[in-house]
Amino acid sequence: MLHYLKSRAFAGLVGAAAVLGVFVGFAMSASAQDKKPIRIGFGMAQTGPLGPNGKSAMLAMDIWREEINAKGGLLGRPVEFVSYDDQSNPSTVPGIYTKLLDVDKVDVIVGGYGTNMLAPAMPVVMQRKKAFLGLFGLGVNHEFNYDRYFAMIPTGPTPTTSFTEGFFGTAMAMNPKPTTVAIVAADAEFSKNASDGARINAKKAGLKIVYDKSYPPSTTDFSPIVRAIQATNPDLVVICSYPLDSVGMVLAVNEAKFMPKMIGGGMVGLQSTVFKVKLGPALNGFMNYDFWLPAKSLMFEGTDAFMKKYQERAAKAGVDPLGYYMGPYGYAYMQVLGDAITATKGTDDAKLAAYMHEHTFKTVVGDVKFAKNGEWVKGRVLQAQFRGIKGHDAAEFKNPDTEVIITPAQYKSGNVIYPYEKAR
């Protein structure tokens, strides 16, 4: 009987402890859930011509947020995103950021995707003295000189020239050297900046510019433009274009059987799987910039694990199935912001900006260190050449031999095929 009573008492204590443990666990869980979230606000293209890239970036950002929240959030607080579709339309951007700050009252903001979407946000950002990380904006801060802007793009301290430096450097190493160049660009913020840099690089190389014109962003027929360039018989052709323009240009070049010695350089869109698949063999021979490709030299801590997770989820999310272009950088710029918030123990914009200026960040795209103007201290724009593409299957582009890195030298995965017609 005594043994029974002792057993009952022990069981009661165990039961009480279990109940207490459940209660404490529930209380701790509720406490964590009750903590005010850190809200990160931004506009991001989900529709319009920039939509495919914007959606790819959003998946990468969501993966980062989910991983951070699974670890307890930032500073013990869950992370929430407050985002709006900027519709690839620059005129929507000032209103989006005004709403984020005045109505939604987010803790911090980051930029959307692309130069044309970042530049319109800058006046609002500067007026509110916010720290501002921009995703793939070329030379956005050149005119503003804002000390709290940071560029998540590997173009280095001189962004306008870095886009085509590798293109010109490769061409001028050929024998015989080219002597003439044509430059064509969309009449838009990014392409203006990139073509300005191309002119500087052409002058440094001693090349004669035989064609130098821009076209309206509304252009849909690129055949007349290509024929006009072809009539000047340039050795090199630098194209600074946006996604739909890039597709139109590649098709028009193929249709005209135009064979300069080298062509490409600054074409946005050719990094996206949807356009690679659409164009297929028409891309062969084109040389173009990129920011990340699946080369061994570009695998850093966490890169492989992130890319596997991204590609596993891409089909269901309806985004770029490979994610080479937007994925790593969409994840990395959240890494930078998260690390800065953790290190400064808050979301004070002055402290965040000071920390981002002073520290090197370890990310899935490698070490990131910002210069005084918010650009990277050291650039790393790739120039890669398409070749050996036989069809229109995304699986072809998993093969690194279909897009070979030519420059910079430390990331090189093959030699350029020159002139262009030999890679056709």
pLDDT at residue 5, as a whole number: 33
C-alpha to C-alpha distances, 209 to 188, 194, 225, 318, nearest whole angstrom:
21, 15, 16, 42
Asked if the structure places residue 279 within a domain, the reply is yes
Structure confidence by residue, pLDDT tens digits, 308-360: 999 999 989 999 999 999 999 999 999 999 999 999 999 999 999 999 999 99
Task: Tell me if 281 sits within 8 A of 250, measured CB to CB.
Answer: no
Residues 226 and 336 grouped into a single domain:
no
Those residues with Cβ within 8 angstroms of residue 70's Cβ, 6 or more apart along the chain or in another chain: none
Is residue 8 over pLDDT 70?
no
Binning pLDDT at 50, 70 and 90, where does residue 34 land?
Answer: low
Q: Same domain, yes or no, for 169 and 237?
A: yes
pLDDT > 50? residue 99:
yes
- Asked whether residue 105 falls in the same domain as residue 139, the answer is yes
240 with 263, same domain: the answer is: yes
Task: Judge whether 202 and 181 are in contact, CB under 8 Å.
Answer: yes
Judge contact between 269 and 246, C-beta under 8 A.
Answer: yes
Does the CA dihedral 17-23-29-32 come out positive or negative?
negative
pLDDT at 16: 38
pLDDT over threshold 70, residue 22: no
Of the given ranges (48-52, 182-186, 297-301), which has the lowest mean pLDDT?
48-52
Per-residue confidence (pLDDT) for residue 17, from 0 to 100: 37
CATH no. for residue 85? 3.40.50.2300
What is residue 76's predicted lDDT score, i.e. its pLDDT? 97
pLDDT at residue number 2? 33
Burial 265-290 (b: 16+ CB within 10 A, else e): bbbbbbbbbbbbbebbbbbbbbbbbe
Task: Say what the pLDDT of residue 273 is.
Answer: 93
Q: Is the predicted pLDDT of residue 281 greater than 50, yes or no?
A: yes
Question: Does residue 381 form part of some domain?
Answer: no
Taking the C-alpha atoms of residue 90 and residue 87, their distance in angstroms, rounded to an integer, is: 8
Whether 408 shows a pLDDT value over 80: the answer reads: yes
CA–CA distance, 271 with 152 (Å, rounded to integer): 17
pLDDT tens digits, one per residue of 187-243: 988 899 999 999 999 999 999 999 999 999 999 999 999 999 999 999 999 999 988
Domain count, the chain: 2
Whether 168 and 266 share a structural domain: yes
CA atoms within 13 A on the CB side of 239: 27
Q: Would the pLDDT of 406 be above 80?
A: yes
* 11: in domain: no
Q: Look at residue 423 and give its three-state secondary structure.
A: helix
In the 8-state DSSP scheme, what is residue 242?
-
Is the peptide bond between 294 and the residue preceding it cis, with omega within 30 degrees of 0? no
| Pair (168, 304) in one structural domain | no
Residues 239 and 352 reside in one and the same domain? no
Residue 283 has pLDDT above 70, yes or no: yes
List all residues 6 or more positions away from 262 whose beta carbon is below 8 Å from its beta carbon: 167, 170, 171, 178, 235, 236, 237, 287, 418, 419, 420
Residue 302 structure tokens = 């966490």
Same structural domain, 147 and 163: no
Task: For residue 416, tell me if it sits in a domain.
Answer: yes
Query: Are residues 183 and 285 located together in one domain of the fold?
Result: yes
Shared-domain flag, residues 275 and 186: yes
Distance CA(4)–CA(362), nearest Å, equals 61
Whether residue 27 lies inside any domain: the answer is no
Same domain, 232 and 268: yes
Distance between CA atoms of 266 and 418, rounded to whole angstroms?
Answer: 18
101 and 206 inside one domain: no
The per-residue pLDDT of the chain, averaged, comes to 91
Q: Residue 7 domain-assigned?
A: no
Any idea which residue has 């010109």 for tokens?
A: 168
In a domain, 15, yes or no: no
Q: What is the domain range of residue 264?
A: 159-290+387-423
Residue of higher predicted confidence among 264 and 115 = 264
Structure tokens at 228: 């006009």
Residue 3 pLDDT > 60, yes or no?
no
- 247 domain-assigned: yes
